[in-house]
Structure 1
Amino acid sequence: MEIYLPLFPLNLVVYPHEELNLHIFEERYRQLISECLETGNTFGIPAFINNKLPGFGTEMRVLALHKRYDDGRMDIKTIGTRIFRIATFENPAPGKLYAGGLVEAVESEPEMGDDLDELVGKLTQLYRLLDVKSEIDRTTPLLSFRVAHKIGLSVEDEYKLLTLEHENERQRFLIRHLDRVLPVVSEMERTKDRIKMNGHFKNLDPLKF
């Protein structure tokens, strides 16, 4: 079923259940957020990539208004609710300063995924190499969305992940990415270790020819 949403295009990808803090300063988006605060209605953040709206985005709900400035700017906290696909786009929406359009909701089932063990293992390996402390809750549904911003994906790849319908597909996508990244990070660690040895005395056996 299609619904009409106010749209706030941004050069980023937001996932369901992700919390996002925003500083609102443009007049058109001050209008949009003010209306959401008054009515409790949601708005959409479609991904704006390479100066285009490729079509997918995330429906957002305003959780809190942290600060309203004297000039009308706002600091807000939002959360992603569900993914949508744009059906029509109007800029501006009728009678508004901001854009809007009909969107079709794309529901994400709370799957655990068949490749969970492999994904968690590779994530653990990456964080260990980077010396990053990160708790991986393997019981979290849609784990792929929860870790996507933390493994070095490009915005284009983050968008590709958003468009994949099933958790199995998303986990395999992330595993392929990690398979490319892990050897690079491992080599960086070995290089750092070699650099640390520079300037130190080394006990070397003389070569015999």
Structure 2
Amino acid sequence: MTARLPVFPLGTVLFPGLVLPLHIFEERYRALVRHLVGLPEGAPREFGVVAIAAGWEVAPGSGTPTPGGGGVTLHEVGCTAELRQVTELDDGGFDIVTVGRRRFRIADVDDTATPYLTAEVEWLPEPAGTDETADLLAARVIAVFRQYLGLIRPDPEDISEQLPEDPTVLSHLVAATAALTVADRQKLLAIDDTTARLRAELRLLNREAALLRQVRAVPVPLSELASPPSPN
């Protein structure tokens, strides 16, 4: 099943169930928000968030913002953002709050029909349930994720929050909140199977935790590691 969606290229990856606040100041995206707000009652007010793979975003008509095209290259898999809250600003812009809803794969991008990009998308499958393997992996991911949080958050109270037990919800939360690269997050978003996503996250979390432990073992202040060496 396919659909046509407004598309918002961003330098981040959105996952289902995660909150994404945005400050809308460009006129083309102001037009997008006005379009969504003006939809009939009950119509889905959502647009596609797609991470930029390379280049920079260009105004529609001045480039070819498609996967593999010129101007900007978009990743093929994105997630819809459902509009939940809109605050209109005095300058005509908007502050909006959205929530990730469903994943999709881009089939075709149009940069001429509207002031903002639109895309023909194919909806990606979401698991209707989980198996015993996913449940076991979820428990392991929770344990490793807490250890990882303990390395990046010195205050124990910062890691006391309750993590979701649902394997799919957990996999999206970990992917969105761990300090991963856009490329790593994009790979996780593109995985259809919850079990496979949790396995990938275990590998990534163990990798990141090992790197953090190695950095902490270096006998110099972390502040010095974050600064370029002095030429003097």
| TM-score bucket of the superposed structures, by smaller chain | 0.7 to 0.9
- Check the 8 A contact 1:61/1:80 in 2, yes or no: yes
Instruction: Spell out, residue by residue over 1:123-165, the C-alpha distance to the aligned partner (whole angstroms, 9 max, x if none).
Output: 1111222325232424134211112233221001100100001
The 2-side partners of 1:73 and 1:187 are apart by 45
1:120–1:136 Cα contact (<8 Å) kept: no
Task: Give 3-state SS (helix, strand or coil) of 1:71's partner.
Answer: coil
1:161 aligns with 2:165: no
**Where does residue 198 of structure 2 map in the other structure?**
171
Aligned with 1:81 (options 101, 111, 119): 101
Offset at residue 49 of structure 1 (A): 1.6
RMSD over aligned CA atoms reads: 1.9
Give 3-state SS (helix, strand or coil) of 2:166's partner: coil
Matched position secondary structure for 2:122: strand
Runs of 4+ in 1 over 6 A off after TM superposition: none
138 and 63 in structure 1: CA distance in 2 versus 1, 3 angstrom threshold? closer
TM superposition shift of 1:87 = 1.0
CA contact (8 A) 2:13 2:176 kept: no
> 2:177, 2:210 → 1: CA distance?
17
Asked if residue 54 in structure 1 is aligned to residue 75 in structure 2, the reply is yes
Give the deviation of 1:191 after TM superposition: 4.2
Deviates further, 101-110 or 81-90 = 101-110
Higher Rg: 1
| Equivalent position of 1:12 in the other structure | 12
Residues 1-209 of structure 1: matches in 2 within 5 Å? 1-39=1-39, 40=43, 41-51=45-55, 52-65=73-86, 67-92=87-112, 94=113, 96-109=114-127, 110-111=129-130, 113=134, 114-130=136-152, 131=154, 133-134=158-159, 135-142=161-168, 143-191=170-218
CA distance in 2, matches of 1:42, 1:178: 31
Q: What residue ranges of structure 1 are gaps of 5+ in the alignment?
A: 196-209
TM-score (norm 1): 0.84
SS in 1 for 2:115: coil
Distance 1:53 1:126 in 2: 30
> Matches of 1:24 and 1:58 in 2, distance apart?
18
3-state SS of 1:88 partner:
strand
Q: Which runs of 5+ in 2 are unaligned?
A: 56-72, 222-232
Aligned length: 191
AA of the residue aligned to 1:128: G
**One-letter amino acid of the structure 2 residue matched with residue 140 of structure 1:** D
